[in-house]
Amino acid sequence: MILAKVKGNIVATQKDSHLVGHKLLLVQPVDLKGEFLPSSEIVAIDLTGAGTGETVLITQEGDAVQQILGHNKAPVNTIIVGIVDSVDVVG
């Protein structure tokens, strides 16, 4: 899992049926201070109710995501699985 921040939404009317009904958020990886890393944006399904500006945990595997969504046919490989309250770095 990596840290990312929600930047906005994606609208895609024409899409695979398994994506219908799920919120697609635009996220970008961030460092520990919440600064955006020089990475491309990623499109993720949100399972946590995350909103724009929030720091989230995203995972990018395929199988797990499909199973959470209640079926095993969703062509989804990025998902928001947690909203980060704090990051505690020791030392």
Binding site for a second copy (CB under 8 A): 1-3, 7-16, 18-19, 24, 26, 29, 31-32, 37, 40-44, 47-49, 52-53, 57, 59-68, 72-79, 81-91
* CB nearer a second copy, residue 21 or residue 86: 86
Q: How far is the CB of 21 from a second copy (least distance, A)?
A: 13
The single residue listed with the structure tokens 């398994």 is: 18
d(CA 24, CA 62) in angstroms, rounded, equals: 16
d(CA 60, CA 44) in angstroms, rounded, equals: 9
Q: How far is the CB of 81 from a second copy (least distance, A)?
A: 4
The single residue listed with the structure tokens 């049926």 is: 17
Q: How far is the CB of 66 from a second copy (least distance, A)?
A: 6
* CB nearer a second copy, residue 21 or residue 26: 26
Q: How far is the CB of 72 from a second copy (least distance, A)?
A: 6
